Structure 1
Amino acid sequence: MSETSILSVPPEQPGLAVAPRSLIDQEAFRRLAEVPPEVEWFANLSSAATRRAYETALQDFRRFVGLREVSDFRRVTRAHVIAWRDDLVARTLSGSTVRHRLAALSSLFEYLCEKNAVTHNPVKGVRRPAVESQEGRTPALGDQQARELLDAPGEGSLKALRDKALLATLLYHGLRREEVCRLTVKDTRQQRRGVVHLRVLGKGGKTRFVPLHPAARAQIAAYLERAGHGSDVQGALFRAVKVGSGDRSRGMTPDAVYKIVRTYTAALGFEVGAHALRATAATNALDHQADIAKVQEWLGHASIATTRLYDRRHTRPEDSPTFKVSY
């Protein structure tokens, strides 16, 4: 059978190309052609976490300024942005939060400039609050607290085994909660140079391989043996265990991970979120002389400046000159 190009010219209409068969109808084509660039920008954000954070920032700005339509962003001036910034500061939000919200708004206007929807970015030139410290604000647990947390789920039940494996994966590898939710069974069995690794899908779709800590490996094996989905290599590693929770093959959500960590740490008297376990892993590795460039790669940070936020060696109380004073 001969192949016919979709651009072939029929004999009865010389000079007129045949249009390819459309996979969408004309009404859908018209709607897509009329999508405002503001909506287009938001839909093009690949990270679900970034979309959530940016949506929070832009909804806050819309409420403050009173924008009713998406296209109203094109009428925003620098005065509007400055007034919003001052309001954020007055609400006692941290400097990093204010900077992040301004960055979200600036990202939108940079895209609108590219699309010639606006003539300039009104966020440019707006002074942003200074970062309070070069040390991260996320708390890190001490060694004793980490050990207590790893033992907190107890023994016996499927939920206890799952939670012990989940907490071990977070504490021994410094994963983001979104990353641990994306892990499949197969991701825990990656062999590299004879060592079992975790394959981690990080921000921006970037994949990194992290050696699987023996303690976490043992907890994961015990969980999979009890849960019974170890042969489902393409399926989610961490799954719901409650009766009546629907499709048990579906992976856990980042919110569920957050709630699990909060519940156990609150019961232990030091309530923190899941990100604190990432900070704990990074801080612990640096305290034990891990190379900071290796920690950057391990955590999946684009910039080593972000990794330095977890480097608290210079603030350890035991190293303070206070304890060098002797009379």
Structure 2
Amino acid sequence: MKITDSVLLVLKGCAMGMADVVPGVSGGTIAFISGIYEELIDSIRRVDATALKLLVRLRFGELWRHVNGSFLFCVLLGIAIAIFSLARLMTYLLEHHPIEIWSFFFGLIIASALLVARQVGHWNWRTVAAFAVGAAAAWWITVASPTETPNDWWFVMLSGAIAICAMILPGISGAFILLLLGKYQYIMQAVVDLNIPVMAIFVVGAAAGIVSFSHLLSWLLKHWHDLTVSVLMGFMVGSLNKVWPWKEPVETYLDSHGELQPLVERNITPGHFEALYDKPSLLAQAVLLCIVGFLTIYGIELLARIIVKKREA
């Protein structure tokens, strides 16, 4: 792999990591629009029985090639860099400039969905129905209320498996899934307390979930490409409900620091927002940043086209 390709993959991983630290935004969306989604799923899928045999036999070179190690390393490195370096910045922006940042992501997701639509070879009643199912599922996830769930080891493992699968689906946040499962605060507290048994069970569930789910998703993309992409596009469109900039809390929860945070929110108009909170809705700034987010995605797509043309020349 060339150095320029490695650097580009690290940057794409950074973009995924940035999305992962934003509630309601999926790193899978960034992987999709940056053109590495299918290779990422296929590379994860290669962590299989063959990989385990190579590991046991200490044939590390063959193992590295089998799992597409160079690709995975660059992407994971970028994700780690972004999470550790940008989490504080994103937290600051979400706390002090929520309308602006959510507007930016609103435009980003709209443009992403339109670009993903181009990957559907033939639009017909099946692909439209698949899109509608994906949009309805994502919309329901964003409005569903969390339930009381057990803290038993099997449910913690199940939560890890479901959350990690959500993280690689465009438009769905794994952290939000944990909230719906009633395990977000429990897992966060386990991290704060360094509760190794709980963390280990969660990680095992996450590892099993992403490997098994990647096999299914890879198979679907190869055998039912248009239907699968249509569902994924629906997820992205349905998730727009989550990133609408003006909201009113309906239900709240206490985070790991004992602070009250919104759990279920209702979308409201900018005018209602001003009347409810007695502060400006920042409508002009929101529209501008929505456009910036929209154009950013098309800028990335244009850059990708230029790079491909240079390689083919």
TM range (shorter): under 0.3
- Using the size of structure 2 for normalisation, the TM-score is 0.26
Q: Which structure has greater helix proportion?
A: 2
